[in-house]
Structure 1
């Protein structure tokens, strides 16, 4: 029985040592720096331009990843679109955000509301609106 255990131990040691071979040398071609990938020209994606219309004193912006223009005054502007840029050419009484990462530019805004979960938005207006912020990282500035 001792002879069998010795044979098993030698066989096991041989298997372990077989797995511990010296690494193969690296060829000079494999260690040379690779050329950078060819730069690609601009993306084929174009940000869509969207015109939104204020109807009966309200407009709801729903176009994600877009440049949206609202011509004239609008009492209520509701932003449901994320990752967009919205330009209002007139005055806004109530501007509310129900989305994230959107920039709204307007010459005058009276009241801004960011609901819970509306994060990372920005309002650029020279006016000083009343702000209710239930989100995080939102900014209202005179830019």
Structure 2
């Protein structure tokens, strides 16, 4: 009787031991197929619009987002409210202020530059050394 019990116990242990085994190759051979990477859009028809800015009575306010804006000549006060734009002023500016983010302003000379709170990631490219008031973050005033 003890021989039968030993044989039965050994068979039971063998079954338990084998139950935890799996075929490693079988689990890695899933039915998933490889996916192709998305193709980048190369034929985009979007172009950045060119906009002519106007300085009226010594004041220009730029409001065209994602645009290439040009102001010809001097303008005493320029306020940039457009984001993601490039603004070029061909003349001199006394006061340049930003109420926007991620905008580049190219200006020959500027006396004062102000970035309000929330005006972040802007850049002024100029050969002058203006007085800067910066209440935003990540703004740069540098030589062009």
- TM-score, with structure 1 as normaliser: 0.76
Residue in structure 1 matched with residue 19 of structure 2 by the alignment: none
Once the two structures are TM-superposed, the CA of residue 56 in structure 1 deviates from its matched residue by 0.2
Once the two structures are TM-superposed, the CA of residue 47 in structure 1 deviates from its matched residue by 0.8
Number of aligned positions between the proteins: 123
Corresponding residue SS for 1:86: strand
- Over the aligned positions, Cα root-mean-square deviation in angstroms equals 2.5
* 1:89-141 per-position Cα deviation (integer Å, ceiling 9, x unaligned): 00000000011110000110100000111111100001000000011110000
* Residues 28-107 of structure 1 mapped to structure 2, 5 A cutoff: 30-107=31-108
Whose Rg is larger? Answer: 2
- The separation in 2 between residues aligned to 1:40 and 1:133, in whole angstroms, is 38
Q: Unaligned stretches of 5+ in structure 1? A: 1-21
Q: Give the direction of change, closer, same or farther, for the CA distance of 1:122–1:40 in structure 2 (3 Å limit).
A: closer
Once the two structures are TM-superposed, the CA of residue 42 in structure 1 deviates from its matched residue by 2.5
* 1:43-101 per-position Cα deviation (integer Å, ceiling 9, x unaligned): 11111110011000000000001000000000000001011000000000000001111
1:126 aligns with 2:122: no
- The separation in 1 between residues aligned to 2:103 and 2:40, in whole angstroms, is 30
- TM-score, with structure 2 as normaliser: 0.75
Once the two structures are TM-superposed, the CA of residue 37 in structure 1 deviates from its matched residue by 4.4
- The separation in 2 between residues aligned to 1:40 and 1:118, in whole angstroms, is 31
- The separation in 1 between residues aligned to 2:70 and 2:78, in whole angstroms, is 12
* Residues 100-119 of structure 1 mapped to structure 2, 5 A cutoff: 100-119=101-120
Once the two structures are TM-superposed, the CA of residue 32 in structure 1 deviates from its matched residue by 4.9
Q: Unaligned stretches of 5+ in structure 2? A: 1-21
